[in-house]
Structure 1
Amino acid sequence: MNMKTKYKSWILKGILSLAVLFGASACTEDHFDVLTNQGQAGSTIWENLQATPGLDSLCMILQRTPVMKSLTDNKSTASYANLLNQTQSLTFWAPLDGTYNAKHYLDLLDQADAAETESERLALRYRVGREFIQNHLARFNYESNKGLQEVFLMNSKVSDYDAANKLFNNIPLVAGFETIPSSNGALHILNGRSPFFQNIKEMLESNYTPLSQLVADYEKVEFDENNSVQGAMNTEGQMEYVDSIYSSANSFLNATRARIADEDSVYIGIVPSTQTAWDNVYGKVSSLYKYADSYWYGWSDENKEFLYKNANAKTFDTDSLTNYNALQEIMKGMFISASTLGGVDLDSATLIHNAIYADSLRSVNDVIYYNTNKGGANPLIADVQPTRASNGYVFELEEFDVDPTYIWADKKEYSMSSDWNISKTDNCAYPKGELVTLTTDNRNDSIAGDVEQNKYRRFQVYGRNVTLRICIKLQNVLSTKYRLKAVMAPNYIRSNDIQYESDGITEKEVVSRFTANVYYDNDTRVNATQATIEVLQDSVREYVIFDELNFDRCYANLPNGANSFAYLQIEVAPRLQNSTRMFGLNNNALNIVKVILEPIHEDEEEK
């Protein structure tokens, strides 16, 4: 089945729901080609099952399996045999005895009968119903004289029924038993079991260690009193419910923002399927979220400092926060929508090919897997045979040896167009610098290079023999290595900032130099050696201030209220007239466009 057909299914589902609402029948017996005289049109599907040879084991399974609305439905007493005997409109594709392992399902039912706990008993019976019986059963008649049709099964799976070629989900119908018209629908006999494919959520719940346990740990099932049907009070004065409804939620899976239980969606999953793979990716991602024991926080522009520091600094359970953020980030990157891989009109082979050879894969929650082998197969998934799910494919990784900085550590840019990125200045003409917008009227055309958005911030020294100090917030930094850069503009890029000699024609020489250091929130220095940078005056340029900064603490996703940050401190020494010192002539201003933090990748460190 083409994955594209799933995107159309919600339309038909809506039509079918209306048919149920108004009591309409999908079709009548007149629509069927009767290819055999087996069975009787006046008999129910169940009666025809009993009358058809070679279905004894199937009938036993149907009689022993209760119709359950959910995994926790302990009220049901009706079996699937009862359901197939009712006056509902149904279609059942019945696998012939001997073409599948009926003993497997009978054994599961035996285990259910012998189960010591109710939850185990319900789970086993629900599994037989959902994975086997409902996988062959649909509400409404599906006409036998049409071509290829999409069938919406009772377990919400979508299968193909090719009546013309006598195939159901590529399983052939038994000759002479292709269609047995029944009073409550139609019965088709299959030469084999239709394969059951879990949806991706079901795979996560059961197939992987330790991921499946984590999914279970975060699953919350709550009784829905408002939607449950009340019965009568019991002898203890407690309400007994005729129909109990439960709702479930999972904050762990919610982080994906992917509807992985939806049979009408199509996803590509990249999943750590083994303990080794999980340990690998968890170790990599958690290394980005290492927190300090305490943080200064509560920045005050008025006081030019953190209000809560030293003994009043913020403390919290750092291990729990590391674990929480690592889990969230791993899950955010787990699923890619098929719509991002070339559209919905793709067959399965093309979809998988596009995933393997894409330059990058963007998850539903905007985590990007870059292909480090650009133009070729992505090394992360190239050698992995994807496992089919009912709503997509999963690349099950036995190892997850990736550089986390390519996936979970973004480049950070702090634009000087926003004064929010300035924590404080000392001895500056404007408290947070002057925001300058370049126009055709004030742009000095002799200066080469472009200024992003034509905006920069000018920091002009105020006072004599004082040091201009600029502190720029470095927010949401992860605990990893970064390269720090800044885009700077020459002092004379705005024409009215040009200074002239006494002749009024010759521009005064500008020497623009500064020193830089990076500090944590508690004023301890990150870098080992101070940087000294000279800003060239002929063009707008990007300068590497620190080739490597190793942050040992994370500032991203701190607890609510703990608004803390590291900062870049830039200093311009006093203007000294007629001096040959390094900080000399007209060294009185800096024009900063933006500051950049680039994560340093592991392969860069190896060079």
Structure 2
Amino acid sequence: MKNNKIYRNAAVAMAFLAAGAMTTACSDWDDHYDNNGVTGSASETIWENIKANANLSQFADLIHKAGYEDVINTTQTYTVWAPLNGTFNYDSLSALPVSNLKEYFAKNHVARFNFPATGSINELVTMLNKKMMPFVGNGTYTFNGVELVTPNVPSSNGVLHVTNGMANYRANLFESLDSVAYPIDSISRYFHSYDRKVLDVSNSVKGPVVDGRITYLDSVFVESNSLIYLHNALINREDSSYSMIVPTNEAWQKAYEQVKKLYNYKPFTYVKEVPATNLNKATEAENYDNGSRDLDFSLLNDSVIHFVIAKDLFVNNNLYHNKVLKELQTGENLQTDSIVTTRGNIYYGDDATALFQGAKRIDKSNGSMWLTDSLRMRPWIAWNPIIKVQGEYGVAKSYNTSATTRNSVTKAEQNPDIQGTVSNGSYLTVTPLSAASNPEAIFYLPEVRSTEYAVYICFVPENINKNTYVENVRPNRVQVTMGYNDLNGKPQEKRLSTATFENDIHKVDTVYVGDFSFPICYYGTGLSTSTQKEYAPYLRINSRATGTAAASKNDRTLRIDFIMLVPKELDTYLKEHPGYKYQHDLD
């Protein structure tokens, strides 16, 4: 709570500064570079020259209150842009807390090194608070849009410019999360729970040693936030350019209610060794383990839900087609083929346009904030994606088999009479133990959400390789069973259908085998990538070929390209919208 209070003070400070900038006075053109009563001595420091000029007394007082006079009174080289008395809201600024006054006013007018106003200038000056201010002109000059009325006052440790108003502080996207002007407390609390702050000794200005301890005239702190790195969105950096979709509290809560249904975490048990044919054969207690014994479900639930809500809120304006966002304004329709978020999700066409519909653009120092009352992400892109398990990598167990092998087929090798292509160029072959055996293969399904999926299995025909002659190509005939945990955490199995399924031998065939609703969520429950599989539900594929090996109409050898769980909402949408472009192919 302490941090939140500090941030809120910062937000109030920014509001004061914006108001202060509005009182900037205007001079007639003929008054350019009148010294306005401001003089200086090249033998005096910048601070001494400021203090000696009555027309800069208000600026001097604020610098003193911020505890910053010692900084610009050293031998280090600085440039200071000092506004004349009466050109800014002195009373509002004087009422600010010292920390805010220093960061948003004092440091906003001071830069390291010499920046004289001479010749043609067009550059961005990095201020002591890391803000980048435009300093431009040729004969006459402006600093962050404010005119210089007395440039180049000589000083022993740099140069002093007198301006006709204060440099307005412009918050970046990260700082804007603290704005009191918008109802965005929910996302603000989430992000600031990951804040860290440490003293940067090397960049702090050392003072005298007091009682054996070093003091600092200017303490520079490095503030970090691990969450912005997790989202690959450095929205605290002034040299970046992002578009950030910022949900109001109402939008955040609506999204939370929608997402939490998909992330229903409950204590569960997993099967150490999934038995052949039927889970009921695994009756020994030692074959079960409490896979959730080390998990804090309340923490997991809250952190995962917040993470997936925020996952697609950030777009780097400098990448791909995202550059159009630099010019997009409130109420305009986005004209682009696609938008790529900082987490790598791609939104095509109308999905990309929808992200910014109904949102209000608010410009910041490093991009634009898009304030919205509703998050318009497709759930299957943002928080409920397709789960695809490649056959050649995903088999966990197999029974009645002589071998499980990975086979590859290139496009050049593929039989031209076979439609479709093999995903990833590889598939799994499950060879029966004997000519009369029916093999079975078990695949773990990691990161399943608590939702309904349409389940697909992709089969590869025996003659997929044009260099392998096959006289009699036959389809597989299989039965499919799902292994999962019920709401009480007990392992269960359920057949997806009493019927069997056969594939089309004329193509790499993705066969729909039924729908299934998982009662609980497994996403993020593994302790590592390798153990995640052990906690996951599984799919059991049993060959159900009948008759003798010679007379059977079905091939007993299974060739599995992949298993895919498609969120039912997406599955229905795809059938209703043929041609819909989505970043994950279903083939």
- The TM-score, its normalising length taken from structure 1, stands at 0.73
Correspondence for 2:264 among 278, 281, 290: 290
Residues 545 and 554 in structure 2, CA contact (< 8 A), matched pair in contact too = no
Distance in 2, Cα, partners of 1:64 & 1:496:
84
In structure 2, relative to structure 1, the CA distance for the partners of 1:453 and 1:365 (3 Å cut) is closer
Provide the residue aligned with 1:318 in structure 2: 297
Cα contact 1:44–1:86 (8 A) shared by 2: yes
Letter in 1 for 2:373: E
How has the CA–CA distance of structure 1 residues 449 and 48 changed in structure 2, closer, same or farther, with 3 Å as cutoff?
Answer: closer
| 3-state SS in 2 of match to 1:288 | coil
Contact kept in structure 2, 1:134 and 1:153, CA below 8 Å: yes
Aligned equivalent of 1:400 = 375
1:413-443 deviation line (CA, Å, top 9, x unaligned)? 222223xx1122222232xx33334479986
Alignment-derived partner of residue 461 in structure 2: 490
1:166: which partner in 2? 141
SS in structure 2 of the partner of residue 323 of structure 1: helix
In the other structure, the counterpart of 2:318 is 339
Deviation at 1:321, TM superposition (A): 1.0
Write the deviation string for residues 487-534 of structure 1: whole angstroms up to 9, x where unpaired. 2222344579877xxxxxxx5573532222322166524666445322
Give the aligned partner of residue 47 of structure 2: 46
Cross-structure match for 2:84:
96
Query: Contact 1:516–1:531 at 8 Å: present in 2 too?
Result: no
1:588 pairs with 2:556: yes
Query: What does residue 131 of structure 1 align with?
Result: 104
Is 1:429 the counterpart of 2:408 in the alignment?
Answer: no
For residue 550 of structure 1, the aligned residue among 508, 514, 517 is: 517
Mark the CA change 1:178 to 1:240 in structure 2 (over 3 Å): closer, same or farther.
Answer: closer
Correspondence for 2:166: 193
Say which of 544, 548, 554 aligns to 1:573: 544
Whether the 8 Å contact between 2:331 and 2:357 is mirrored in structure 1 is no
Structure-1 residue corresponding to 2:94: 106
- Secondary structure at 1:294 match in 2: coil
Q: Specify the alignment match of 2:365 in structure 1.
A: 390
Cα 1:225–1:102 shift into 2, 3 Å: closer
Tell me which residue corresponds to 2:6: none
Distance 1:214 1:460, change over 3 A: closer
Secondary structure in 1 aligned to 2:262? helix
Contact 1:34 1:180 in 2 (8 A): no
**Kept after mapping to 2: 8 A contact 1:299/1:564:** no
The alpha carbon displacement at 1:479 in A equals 2.2
CA drift of 1:252 comes to 3.7
Superposed counterparts of 1:131-530, under 5 Å: 131-145=104-118, 146-164=120-138, 165-174=140-149, 177-205=150-178, 208-221=184-197, 240-243=213-216, 249-272=224-247, 274-296=248-270, 298=272, 310=288, 312-315=290-293, 316-341=295-320, 348-349=326-327, 356-366=334-344, 368=345, 370-371=347-348, 373=350, 378-418=353-393, 421-430=394-403, 433-438=404-409, 446-452=417-423, 454-463=425-434, 466-493=437-464, 507-508=471-472, 510=474, 512-520=476-484, 523-525=491-493, 529-530=497-498
Number of the residue aligned with 1:62: 63
**Residues 281 and 308 of structure 1, relative CA distance in 2, 3 Å threshold:** farther
Listed one character per residue, the Cα deviations across residues 235-287 of structure 1 (whole Å, up to 9, x for unaligned) are xxxx7553588665544444223333222222222222x22122123333333
Query: What is the Cα deviation at residue 66 of structure 1?
Result: 0.9
* Aligned residue number for residue 72 of structure 1: none
- Counterpart of 1:424, as a letter, is K
Count of aligned pairs = 521
Instruction: Look up the match of 2:503.
Output: 535
Alpha carbons 1:369, 1:407 under 8 Å: kept: no
Q: What CA distance in whole angstroms lies between the structure 1 residues aligned with 2:121 and 2:410? A: 67
RMSD of Structure 2 on Structure 1 (CA): 4.1
CA distance in 2, matches of 1:101, 1:215: 32
> Cα offset for 1:468?
3.0
Q: Hey, what's the Cα distance between the residues in 2 that align with 1:39 and 1:497?
A: 93
Alignment match, 1:113: none
Q: 1:436 to 1:90 in 2, by over 3 A?
A: closer
Contact 2:245 2:314 in 1 (8 A): yes
Residues 55 and 520 from structure 1, CA distance in 2 versus in 1: closer, same or farther, beyond 3 angstroms? Answer: same
Matched residues in 2 for 1:104 and 1:153: separation?
22
Deviation at 1:204, TM superposition (A): 2.8
Q: Structure 2 CA distance, aligned partners of 1:172 and 1:525?
A: 75
Match of 2:39, SS state, is coil
| Structure 1 match to 2:20 | none
Give the Cα–Cα distance (whole angstroms) in 2 for the partners of residues 215 and 585 of structure 1: 60
* Change in 2 beyond 3 A, CA 1:182/1:404: same
Query: For residues 397 and 599 of structure 1, what CA distance do their matches in structure 2 show?
Result: 26
What secondary structure is seen at the aligned counterpart in 1 of 2:454? Answer: strand
Task: Tell me if structure 1 keeps the 8 A contact 2:379–2:385.
Answer: no
C-alpha distance in 1, partners of 2:408/2:303? 43
| Cα distance, 1:334 vs structure 2 | 3.3
In the other structure, the counterpart of 2:17 is: none
SS across alignment from 2:95: helix
- Aligned partners of 1:442 and 1:191: how far apart in 2? 75
Counterparts of 2:144 and 2:363, CA distance in 1: 14
Give 1:396 deviation, angstroms.
2.4
Q: Deviations over 1:3-45 (max 9, x none)?
A: xxxxxxxxxxxxxxxxxxxxxxxxxxxxxx9874841343443
Provide the identity percentage.
23
- Which amino acid is the alignment partner of residue 482 of structure 2? V
User: What TM-score do the two structures reach when normalised by structure 2?
Assistant: 0.76
Q: Which amino acid aligns with 1:100?
A: F
Is the Cα contact below 8 Å between 1:288 and 1:478 reproduced in 2? yes
Q: Separation in 2 of the partners of 1:498 and 1:131?
A: 76
